[in-house]
A and B are shown apart, each in its own frame.
Chain A
Amino acid sequence: MLGPSGSGKSTLLRAFAGLVPHFHGGRFSGRVEVAGLDTRRHGPARLAGTVATLFQDPEDQVVFTRVLNEVAFGLENVGTPPAEIEARALEALALVGAEHLAGRLVTELSGGELQRICLAATLALEPELLLLDEPTSQLDPEAAEGLVELALRLARDRGTAVLLCEQRPALPLEVSDRVLFLEGGRVSFDGPVDDARTWLEEHHPLFVSDGSDVGVHLHHLGEAVAKVDNVSFAYEDRLLVLDGASLELCRGEIVALVGPNGSGKTTLAKLAAGLLEPLSGRVARQGRATYLSQDPGRYVLRERADEEVAVGVSGDLRVAGRALAAVGLAGFEDRHPRDLSSGERERLALAAVLAPEPDLLVLDEPTRGVDPERKSELAALLRGNTARATLVVTHDRRFARAVADRLVSLAAERELMHA
């Protein structure tokens, strides 16, 4: 299931799980039937086991602190005989290659491992319909591909139907049998993948293009705005996250920082922006730096969107209004930040860090939850400004190629490779 942000993908997915209307309320008409069960008469708890949902953020769906208990939770709820619960939970963990994590605390796991545990918890229920709601948005491309392929293979082995909702269209177009495209709350396309490609090329070309056509970037490289020189960094556990990393960012250039989960991308970005101090080495900056956090839920301090953006510009609402317009949120000034969709929140956060007109702009995963058309607009917006240096941390290789002048790859061994 593809479609722009706010097109109703998550709502439709939740309707299949009975969460719409039973959990979320609202006005509901028509009928949703899953395995012969009418969702108007059977709520989500009753549908559990028949339907299983893997949500976007693994941290928001974990109930217990130990992995085995987490996987067993759903089995307990649907009344699995006690003698079978542990065996089925372990079997599900083995299916996702996480049997060795059974006794671990969920707080000790990486995002990718945690999402695998959540997948095991859904598979343990042996559902007839598996709903995947952007399950890879927190993962790097390799982990994302691995998770989706694993989910689909296991589901196919068991004859389970899978509805996968994704913002990154490349992977679904490779692995799915059929594509739904939603726009404005309506299904505008429903057909096989090959037909979908043709339809998308005609109606939404950015969903199938490589996204690189965003205009000409003026290569006027100026002086160095930030120099990260041979820095090392460790968090409280004292394990070195970065060891002797160096990076120079010049005015007018856009650098994409890529690499697998846990390779230290965010740490390097925070060091460049001045949010962290290195253990050793030196970081020098000229002018003002702003940093866009991975989590747009952190830009919700005020009750109006324009006031939130104005926080970084001493409350100047005119500057805030211009920043909102630049990210396509004109007319959203009086909206509460929490009332915005995830894609709109991402753009609000971007406006908040653009408003101060920084000399160094650091964006940490700015395309999470953003559809391809908005990504293209974002790339054009970033490339339209040559007065600053921009560092983009991203898992999204297509976006990196589209926006960046230079790609810096941070490998698991903490080595920087420039291209």
Chain B
Amino acid sequence: MRPAPAAALLFGLAAAALLARHTLSVAVLAVALLVVCLRAPVSRRWPYLVGALSSAAALFVLTPFVERLPGTVYWTGPTIPVVGTLDVTSTELSGALFNACRLAAVSLAFAAYALWLDHDRLVQAAGFARRSVLAVALATRLVPALERDASGLVEALRGRGVEPEGLRGKARLLSPLLAGSLERSLNLAEAMEARGFGRSGATRLPQPGWGTRERLALAGAVLAVVAGVLWL
């Protein structure tokens, strides 16, 4: 399938997850998107899945402690200044589950976009704001690049007999990783400018037209948003 309607379909599903009001509907959307992501190769999918699922799990765990909603009290904890008494109620748990499913669905829609779409064709299909679409496509490639850089830094440390242990040890890699990604982006920007990027009068490699699958995907995207507003 061509990438523009596929991206629209994923956007529609993410929008439906944000608009839906029932936990079950959002959970079904999240599971469907998880299945799509699981079909990608293991080596490519794991950073996306770890990111999406761990952030959703963290949201589920933390939300009951910061919300104060009535309901059946399952646990009462200590009283903390400013925050008040910690407790976990049935309403807080169901709200946390709903928000976690919603975050998971949106993150997994992005993961499916990053894992499955041909970003080249998406950029070429962009009728307007091509530079912005290209920036998004390049940013999407940052995740695997960062993963490679991180393992390179760890390997260089181990090569000096130092094991980066614990959260603190790994956190120390964040700053060089960020600086490295900035350096990489500068090199890429230089190469792009040297190849004429940004010059007026640019043309485009011709693209084939849309078929039935593309039209169905676009209709599916619209349907998902409408369903999210009205029924889910």
Cross-chain contact B159 with A60 (CB below 8 angstroms): no
Among candidates B42, B190, B196, residue contacting A48 with C-beta atoms closer than 8 Å = B196
* B6 CB → nearest A CB, Å: 15
Enumerate chain A residues within 8 angstroms of B193, measured Cβ to Cβ: 19, 22-23, 43-45, 48
Enumerate chain B residues within 8 angstroms of A73, measured Cβ to Cβ: 195, 197
- From B152, B172, B180, B203, name the one whose CB has the most chain A CB atoms within 10 angstroms: B203
Enumerate chain A residues within 8 angstroms of B188, measured Cβ to Cβ: 60-61, 63
Enumerate chain B residues within 8 angstroms of A311, measured Cβ to Cβ: 157, 160, 162
Q: Residue A341 at the B interface, CB < 8 A?
A: no
Among candidates B158, B159, B179, B197, residue contacting A77 with C-beta atoms closer than 8 Å = B197
* A283 CB → nearest B CB, Å: 15
Cross-chain contact A290 with B120 (CB below 8 angstroms): no
Cross-chain contact B197 with A298 (CB below 8 angstroms): no
Cross-chain contact B192 with A63 (CB below 8 angstroms): yes
Cross-chain contact A80 with B196 (CB below 8 angstroms): no
As a 0/1 sequence over residues 172 to 204 of chain B, the CB contacts with chain A under 8 angstroms (1 = contact) are 110010011001100111111111111101111
Q: Residue A135 at the B interface, CB < 8 A?
A: no
As a 0/1 sequence over residues 48 to 90 of chain A, the CB contacts with chain B under 8 angstroms (1 = contact) are 1101110101001101111001001111111111110110010
* A165 CB → nearest B CB, Å: 14
Q: Residue A236 at the B interface, CB < 8 A?
A: yes
* B66 CB → nearest A CB, Å: 35
Instruction: Evaluate whether A293 and B152 lie within 8 angstroms (CB atoms) in the complex, with A74-B196, A311-B160 already known.
Output: yes
Cross-chain contact A48 with B180 (CB below 8 angstroms): no
Main secondary structure of the interface of B (DSSP, over half): helix
Cross-chain contact B43 with A236 (CB below 8 angstroms): yes
Cross-chain contact B155 with A298 (CB below 8 angstroms): yes
* B169 CB → nearest A CB, Å: 11
Instruction: Evaluate whether A45 and B191 lie within 8 angstroms (CB atoms) in the complex, with A83-B206, A293-B155 already known.
Output: no
Cross-chain contact B160 with A356 (CB below 8 angstroms): yes
> Considering the chains assembled together, what is the distance between the CA atoms of A89 and B197 in angstroms?
17
Cross-chain contact A121 with B195 (CB below 8 angstroms): yes
Enumerate chain B residues within 8 angstroms of A64, measured Cβ to Cβ: 119-120, 123
Cross-chain contact B158 with A275 (CB below 8 angstroms): yes
**Which residue of B has the minimal Cβ distance to A55?**
B191
Cross-chain contact A299 with B199 (CB below 8 angstroms): no
Cross-chain contact B199 with A78 (CB below 8 angstroms): yes
Enumerate chain B residues within 8 angstroms of A125, measured Cβ to Cβ: 195
Cross-chain contact B202 with A295 (CB below 8 angstroms): no
Instruction: Evaluate whether A74 and B159 lie within 8 angstroms (CB atoms) in the complex, with A79-B202, A81-B203 already known.
Output: no
Enumerate chain A residues within 8 angstroms of B202, measured Cβ to Cβ: 76-79
Q: What would be 24 A-B contacts, judged by CB atoms less than 8 Å apart?
A: A44-B193, A44-B194, A48-B194, A63-B192, A63-B195, A64-B123, A75-B203, A76-B202, A76-B204, A76-B205, A77-B199, A79-B201, A79-B202, A82-B203, A82-B205, A83-B206, A125-B195, A291-B158, A293-B156, A298-B155, A301-B157, A311-B157, A349-B156, A356-B160
The 10 closest A-B pairs by CB, nearest first: A48-B196, A291-B159, A77-B196, A312-B160, A61-B191, A298-B156, A60-B187, A45-B199, A74-B195, A79-B201
4 additional A-B pairs beyond A53-B191, A78-B199, beta carbons within 8 Å, are A52-B195, A53-B194, A60-B191, A297-B183
Please list the residues of chain A having a beta carbon within 8 angstroms of any beta carbon in chain B: 17, 19, 22-24, 43-46, 48-49, 51-53, 55, 57, 60-61, 63-66, 69, 72-83, 85-86, 89, 121, 125, 236, 273, 275, 288-293, 295, 297-301, 311-312, 338, 349, 352-353, 356, 358, 362
